[in-house]
Structure 1
Amino acid sequence: MRNSVFLIFLFLFFFLPNQSHAGIFTMSDASPTPQTNEIPIDDKLDKVIQKRQKEARKLILEGRKLIKKGEKKKNEDLIIKGQIKKQIGEKQLEALKEQEENKKRERENDIW
């Protein structure tokens, strides 16, 4: 009788989920620690890159709008201005993407 009570107590203690007292074999509520490559790193440089990417996309959109306006009005000046803005925005985006890739490589090299 005593052994069965002890076994029941042991079973309840270890296997029933209880928030106030988790047994040895129950899963912990804490999440596993994140890996180093999963930790988001918010540098000032990241924010600057994101801001510049947004500005470059704006330039591309403005360029496209100017090109459409120029085509509707058959105005070569608007078309040329639109093409210039679009090209500048595309070049800025390419440069920022390269910069971002270089930064990722540096981070990977720093980890190892």
Structure 2
Amino acid sequence: MVDQDIRNHLESRQVQIYFGAVAIATAIAPLVPGTTALEAAINPALAFMLFVTFLQVPLVELGRAFGRVRFTLPLLLSNFVAIPLLVGILFQVMPGDPLLRLGVGRAR
């Protein structure tokens, strides 16, 4: 029962824990020499956090969710129509700085 209580507490505070960890790392990283060597670990750490987060989603419910048009259609439209259109529009009005363009989507 205690393990379940701890799990429930951690799950209810998950966003705050992640945000706090990032804030602490941001504050400490400039003070510790050699932290740039850990840069390669950022993507695997993010992938692990996403994996752990999605472990909590029951696969049966996820399968049912994709079968619902009211869920799937807005998801597909936003990811494959609205967001690419927004990025295309932003590219027309942005300065030509490659670093800014890289942040939006791609460098020219």
TM-score by length of 2: 0.32
Higher share in helix: 2
TM-score by length of 1: 0.31
The structure whose Rg is larger is 1
Higher relative contact order (CA 8 A, sep 6+): 1
